[in-house]
Structure 1
């Protein structure tokens, strides 16, 4: 019989309670306010920003960041970090394209791409939990290996001519209405809801339900909040961490399918610096790099802040180099706010 463990002194709630601290709610509300201000500001700066087509473009751009951000949020909540998601995205997309080229139908090929991503995540998790290597170093190593493998498998050349079916996930839309004109050319009456946006919504709902309503979600929060207390309470900490890294890798693989499908070409050089966008989305949305804090809804707000910021700056004619400076400043600001929030 295991003895009951007394809660640590100084805590008003247990990690397993799954309750969101007031500071986190305030952080998420401030992020939502920032998102609304960005939308208002860019709408005033350009009439085209608030158009339907630009809104759909933002949804497409944000879908990849959002998928990566959800997986990153799970890892960050456990107290870890995953720097490999951009490279895993590229490797998974390449794996999908190679299997399509080998004659496999698109759907099973994309499933293989997700499995490749999950396998990379499993390696990350095992290195962190079994070899006790810090997550920063472990995932940095995977970032280099996955990118190198993607480039080696393709000879650093893109894989093209993948067929119309390959591009359906990234370029298709639900409820799209197209009318044929008398001159024989199609006219889009309603562009529809992009499949990547629908996929992001479904994944976000499933992840939010898992984190808030399922035992594994409570264990993820407990592991990041106080690892030793969670272990003494019966939580299998190593398995929980492994699960988080596998999910991060699988969602990176799914994001790779979406991105490569949008391009209808597998680019082994895609996904560079995407890990920073994913981390930024999670932290801006209220996830704490100290672990134990974070929500999927907050990460979605953070992802849209990143997506809208990039889109608005592009429309304003701001160079890509200045955009990097702005996004970097936003990340530093979000982490600084997180540090202030965690001070006693």
Structure 2
């Protein structure tokens, strides 16, 4: 039976997770556990509450970008623009706040700017038939250039405490005032970025596995022509995936700039590599048609914990890049072995 004549269920419309993906995700989870054990043994401070909160905050941005990247990779594409879109979205939000717009609508404008960049990627890919690598590479340059041009390459500061609430606030935080007038944090609470990541991950996982658009995303990546013959609107599905990737990059930009309480137009450089790494380490196939949000979350935490543990060990940022690079190559190599007939 040819690919074009196979039933739609064989191309992901059934929503089932292939056994290879589960095995890959299990191996990624085992790797995560080994990393945690190794760093905990090397540094007693690794299991401290403050360090755990630091890991959650660092991983939240990688996770949000990785979720959007997973949607794109499952369709058989790639999005190299998410780091630049992150910076542009943060700049748009900050400029809106400076213009007197309330924080929530201002951040909504930032997310909308990210979604617009993603939609542009999708239109260029589907209408102009430009390969995703080239189209999103172009958007990477456009978005970074816009962020730098709008700000004059100067950070936007003085955004107020309300702007920093999303990135620095926490649920159930308990603080008491000491007699000397200084606050004492009894319980640091659950960071808002971690809660936001959980909500987004659950929502997108539900969308992928229980909604029609999710099944269409898998079908498009598994075999585009077979999906089209099965009635899937392939171009619209790709447009949706890239728009979601841009919107989530915009959300990640709000989280990051809120943490800094400053909009940095130079932020997000090489963030797309972390997003790709999280998705691939978690089991997403660069050939398309395979990927899970839970796997991407495991991959995001592997990268976050690896960076955190190496920082605590005093390893330079340059060596960290080398280590992450080898991890990505290893994950892609495993993916290639899995896809061999």
Looking at structure 1, the residues matched to 153 and 333 of structure 2 have their Cα atoms a distance apart, in angstroms, of: 38
* Displacement of 1:326: 0.1
Q: Describe how 1:261-340 pairs up with structure 2 within 5 A.
A: 261-340=258-337
User: In structure 2, the residue corresponding to 1:17 is in which secondary structure?
Assistant: coil
Q: Describe how 1:93-104 pairs up with structure 2 within 5 A.
A: 93-104=90-101
Q: Describe how 1:73-112 pairs up with structure 2 within 5 A.
A: 73-112=70-109
Runs of 4+ in 1 over 2 A off after TM superposition: 5-15
Show the counterpart of 2:228: 231
Q: TM-score, normalised by structure 2?
A: 0.98
Structure 2 residue 169 is the aligned partner of structure 1 residue 172:
yes
Whether the 8 Å contact between 2:4 and 2:225 is mirrored in structure 1 is: no
Q: Cα RMSD (Å) of the superposition? A: 1.4
Aligned equivalent of 1:120, options 106, 117, 122: 117
* Displacement of 1:167: 0.2
Whether the 8 Å contact between 2:4 and 2:229 is mirrored in structure 1 is: no
**Unaligned runs of at least 5 residues, structure 2:** none
Structure 2 residue 96 is the aligned partner of structure 1 residue 134:
no
Whether the 8 Å contact between 2:11 and 2:227 is mirrored in structure 1 is: no
Looking at structure 1, the residues matched to 303 and 3 of structure 2 have their Cα atoms a distance apart, in angstroms, of: 42
Whether the 8 Å contact between 2:11 and 2:223 is mirrored in structure 1 is: no
Looking at structure 2, the residues matched to 206 and 48 of structure 1 have their Cα atoms a distance apart, in angstroms, of: 34
Q: How many residues align?
A: 340
Structure 2 residue 146 is the aligned partner of structure 1 residue 156:
no
* Displacement of 1:102: 0.2
User: In structure 2, the residue corresponding to 1:151 is in which secondary structure?
Assistant: helix
Whether the 8 Å contact between 2:3 and 2:223 is mirrored in structure 1 is: no
Looking at structure 1, the residues matched to 83 and 158 of structure 2 have their Cα atoms a distance apart, in angstroms, of: 23
User: In structure 2, the residue corresponding to 1:235 is in which secondary structure?
Assistant: coil
**Unaligned runs of at least 5 residues, structure 1:** none
Change over 3 Å in CA distance of 1:48–1:260 after alignment to 2: same
